[in-house]
Structure 1
Amino acid sequence: MGKADFLTPKAIANRIKSKGLQKLRWYCQMCQKQCRDENGFKCRCLSESHQRQLLLASENPEQFMDYFSEEFRNEFLELLSRRFGTKRVHNNIVYNEYISHREHVHMNATQWETLTDFTKWLGREGLCKVDETPKGWYIQYIDRDPETIKRQQELEKKKKQDLDDEERTAKFIEEQVRRGKGEAEPETPVFTELNRESEEEKIAFNLGKAASTSGAAASKSSSLSSNALKSAISSGAVKRKDPVQTQAKEKKKKSALDEIMEMEEQKKKTERTDFWLQPEIVVKIVTKKLGDRYYKKKAVVKEVLDRYTAIAKLVDSGDKLRLDQTHLETVIPAPGKKILILNGEYKGNYGVLDSINEKRFSATIIIDSGPLKGRKVEELPYEDFSKVA
């Protein structure tokens, strides 16, 4: 019996039933499949794809549980930080909003049995501030994002720099005013008692000369003070430099050669890693636990779930499988085909396969993208590159 047409009542009813959340006991986290009733869930458990996922999970169950726990924690904290920020909120409110998304990771697949256990764990790990009240548990997100911390440090540094500039300017002006006042102040007159040595001596007061002398001294001192201020201001203007201009001069524009040299140094410092999966590369399935149907078959990596697990689509049948890195190996294309370097100092560069050395299990690659375009890399091991889909 074929499927119902798109506009038939049965098809419309099926679409209406599939909307919204379904019962948790009829959800398979391994297959990420939600069933509508008990019969559908039973058929799912007896299906071939479900049995394959159980075989993969039985090899290392802790790895799958850790992966689901990490996904649940990351998505929960992301929703908490994006939706509520650093506000104090009830944990059940955040959880209800989280599970409203149909494709969320269910808690029964993680290491935490209840929401209270998960909340207590967040408090012990220092990811959130938690407190228990008669109304339940409340959580408050602690923002430890490196970008946020760096932004706060830059703001504090800028404020400190502005304050230093203002204090420096104020001290300079105060110094110049003090120096100007010091030069402009006349000498303090000394008063002496009028004593006549002899009675015949006459006392004479030369007021005009004294006034002219004092006026000349005042004009001279004022001219000196004004000249001193002008010279001090001019010298200060010459000595004082704009920090923005000096920084702009220091930060010269780097040439293409300098950028290439820096990239070379960074590449040399790059250490080899134990993970190599990348999207859109061709791989070969080398495990026999999935049966002869998939053994030695080629697939294209569509998504890398974590560093060691990927979702691959078979080239022949189009089936999608969740596979571990240990179940896969790289594919060596024919000379002239495009490849992607997966490990080593040239990791992430695309190139063209030039030749193959079967005795040394290595190949010669010519990089055809980026600043290292045209570089010839020799003796590159087979496991360090793979064919590009």
Structure 2
Amino acid sequence: MGKADFLSPKAIANRIKSKGLQKLRWYCQMCQKQCRDENGFKCHCMSESHQKQLLLASENPQQFMDYFSEEFRNEFLELLKRRFGTKRVHNNIVYNEYISHREHVHMNATQWETLTDFTKWLGREGVCKVDETPKGWYIQYIDRDPETIKRQEELEKKKKQDLDDEERIAKFIEEQVKRGKGEVEPETPVYTELNRQNEEELVAFNLSKAASTSGASRYFLNSSSSLSSSLSSNALKSAALSGAVKRKDPVQSQSKEKKKKSALDEIIEMEEKKKKTEITDYWLQPDIVVKIVTKKLGDGYHKKKAVVKELVDKYTAIVKLIDSGDKLKLDQTHLETVIPAPGKKVLVLNGGYKGHYGLLESVKEKSFSATIVIDSGPLKGRKVEGLPYEHFSKVA
């Protein structure tokens, strides 16, 4: 029989079925492909693309399991936080809502075998409060977001302040009621006689010799008398200005400027050293040319050049072969950078100049490094020498 027509009832029924959630045992997590029945799943397991993904996973299975476990944990906790907040809820309710999404990560691809094991792990790690009841396991999310904690503290502080205000008002009303009933006598002010002690107390003013024009260095005045008129206004001005006005030394100011310049130079040198040491363990970037170095995919793909089209995560990318146009999902350990001819455009993938475009000037084969010139951004025109081969690649 020929293939069913696009608008035939059978084709429409097949499309409707493919949109819904299918059985989990017919889902391939490695290829992220859902099959509708056992025969389809069997055919998929025998396909060439599935076998290639299994070969890649067999090289480092723990890495793939850790990746799927992290994705499952993050998505589960995100749903728990967004949907239920900090309320106590049955773990099976959250899990059923999580698996209703068609593209979710299945638990059989993670390090936890059952939902109970995952719930116990959340309790041991302190992510959630868990307790076992006759009806099953219950979980309660612990929100450790600094903004949430700050918001809760502000609410508690406001509640406490409101309670203090209410208590103060209640106490005031109670006193007014007692005063109205005559139980509390009004307070009468007590007047006392004003007595001055130490009538002969002296106030001393000390003036420097440079500020004094009359030759006197110290005056003793009675606290009840006024200042002596013999101290002229010029003497007061000179006393206020003495020690405050200093002549600037040009040699000293020049030495300070030199110190500032030297400190600035030291900061620039420290920033340059910091840039050279900022190296990460991932380097994949979109729109760069790479070379496939793994032999697990066969001779048809070994040493072939491809272009990075999309990043799945920091360490995995979808590449498209330049010759055949085939698309593959590969880890960065199966790829290496491509060094173009001098004068061609490159992208810095690692180090302090990461993300900058430049032109390849020369290649040093003995030290496996190259010299490039930055041609974009605020660092345009800067020459970077001794850049390792693995820290830059040709731009597609």
What TM-score comes out, normalization by structure 2 length? 0.66
Partner of 1:211: none
Q: Mapping of 1:1-389 within 5 angstroms?
A: 4-145=4-145, 188=194, 264=271, 267-268=274-275, 270-389=277-396
Shift of 1:3: 5.2
Q: How many residues of Structure 1 are paired with residues of Structure 2 in the alignment?
A: 295
* AA in 1 matched with 2:194: T
Equivalent residues of 1:269, 1:345 under 8 A apart: yes
Change (3 A) 1:371 1:81: farther
* AA in 2 matched with 1:351: G
Change (3 A) 1:131 1:363: same
CA distance in 1, matches of 2:377, 2:56: 38
- Structure 2 stretches lacking a partner, 5+ long: 159-190, 197-263
Partner of 1:168: none
Deviations 1:134-169 (A, max 9, x none): 2221111122346656x669979x99xxxxxxxxxx
CA distance in 2, matches of 1:350, 1:385: 9
Q: What SS is found at the alignment partner of 1:283?
A: strand
Shift of 1:189: 7.7
Change (3 A) 1:2 1:261: farther
CA distance in 2, matches of 1:374, 1:7: 61
CA distance in 2, matches of 1:353, 1:372: 15
23-32 or 133-142, which deviates more:
133-142
Shift of 1:320: 2.8
Q: What SS is found at the alignment partner of 2:16?
A: helix
Equivalent residues of 1:267, 1:346 under 8 A apart: no
- Structure 1 stretches lacking a partner, 5+ long: 160-184, 191-256
| Higher share in helix | 1
Q: What SS is found at the alignment partner of 2:318?
A: strand
Change (3 A) 1:21 1:189: closer
CA distance in 2, matches of 1:187, 1:365: 91
CA distance in 1, matches of 2:298, 2:9: 41
Shift of 1:55: 0.9
Q: What SS is found at the alignment partner of 1:278?
A: coil
What TM-score comes out, normalization by structure 1 length? 0.67
* AA in 2 matched with 1:378: E
Identity in percent: 86
Change (3 A) 1:365 1:91: same
Partner of 2:166: none
Change (3 A) 1:312 1:41: same
Shift of 1:285: 0.4
* AA in 2 matched with 1:51: Q
Q: What SS is found at the alignment partner of 1:129?
A: strand
CA distance in 2, matches of 1:96, 1:57: 29
Q: What SS is found at the alignment partner of 2:377?
A: coil
Equivalent residues of 1:285, 1:296 under 8 A apart: yes
Q: What SS is found at the alignment partner of 2:386?
A: strand
Change (3 A) 1:189 1:293: closer
Q: What SS is found at the alignment partner of 1:25?
A: helix
CA distance in 2, matches of 1:296, 1:146: 49
CA distance in 1, matches of 2:43, 2:330: 23
Q: What SS is found at the alignment partner of 1:94?
A: helix
Partner of 1:238: none
CA distance in 2, matches of 1:295, 1:326: 14
CA distance in 1, matches of 2:3, 2:395: 37
Deviations 1:252-306 (A, max 9, x none): xxxxx99x96994695374323322223322110111110111111222334344
Shift of 1:45: 0.6
Q: What SS is found at the alignment partner of 2:308?
A: strand
Partner of 1:228: none
Partner of 1:205: none
5-14 or 123-132, which deviates more:
5-14
Q: What SS is found at the alignment partner of 1:50?
A: helix
CA distance in 2, matches of 1:384, 1:115: 43
* AA in 2 matched with 1:279: P
Equivalent residues of 2:276, 2:351 under 8 A apart: no
Partner of 2:210: none
Deviations 1:202-256 (A, max 9, x none): xxxxxxxxxxxxxxxxxxxxxxxxxxxxxxxxxxxxxxxxxxxxxxxxxxxxxxx
Partner of 1:236: none
Q: What SS is found at the alignment partner of 1:79?
A: helix
